[in-house]
Amino acid sequence: MEEIGRYVQANLPIWLAESSFAESPKLYEIELRERMVRLEEELKHQRELMKQGFELMERRFEAVDRRFESLQEQMDKRFEAMQVQMDKRFDAVDKRFDVVDKRFEMITRRIDRFMFWSFGITVGVATVVIAAFRVWPGSL
């Protein structure tokens, strides 16, 4: 076994030199060109795969963008509906305040009339009492 190992060890570099590097430079150049062509083809294939991946990513981004736009539109519609409802409620509250304001104006007019009549009656009674005291001076 050791003898076979020594034989292979001694002859392996020679065999390798004969098989690839001992070939003529033209064959080596052709082999290098073939490798370069295969490498370029592989790079081209990888570039195409990358382009496809980028296109798929772009489509996904567009889909996500459309989804966000639709969500934004839905939110805008909801906010507009809420704004309409709030406007209606504010209008109703304004109407209620108008009614209350009219009631206060009516009460103010009634109080004014009451004060006018009260003042008139008080002045009239005072005048009658004073006149009565003057007409009948001895009654007191």
Q: Structural domain boundaries of the chain?
A: 2-139
Provide, for the chain, the percentages of residues in helix, strand and coil under a 3-state DSSP scheme, each rounded to the nearest 5.
95, 0, 5
**Could you tell me which residues come within 8 angstroms of residue 28 by beta carbon, excluding any fewer than 6 positions away?**
20, 21
User: Nearest CA to 92 among 100, 118, 53, 48?
Assistant: 100
Q: Do the beta carbons of residue 140 and residue 133 sit within 8 Å? A: yes
Alpha-carbon radius of gyration of the chain: 56
pLDDT score at 33? 85
Token pair in block for residue 63: 């889909």
Is the CB of residue 139 less than 8 Å from the CB of residue 133?
yes
Backbone angles phi, psi at 114, to 5 degrees: -60, -45
pLDDT at 25: 63
Residue whose entry in the numeric block shows the structure tokens 């082999």: 31
From first to last of the 140 residues of the chain, give the pLDDT tens digit: 888 888 888 887 777 666 655 556 667 678 888 889 999 999 999 999 999 999 999 999 999 999 999 999 999 999 999 999 999 999 999 999 999 999 999 999 999 999 999 999 999 999 999 988 888 866 55
φ, ψ at 52 (rounded to 5°): -60, -40
Q: What are phi and psi of 35, to 5 degrees?
A: -60, -45
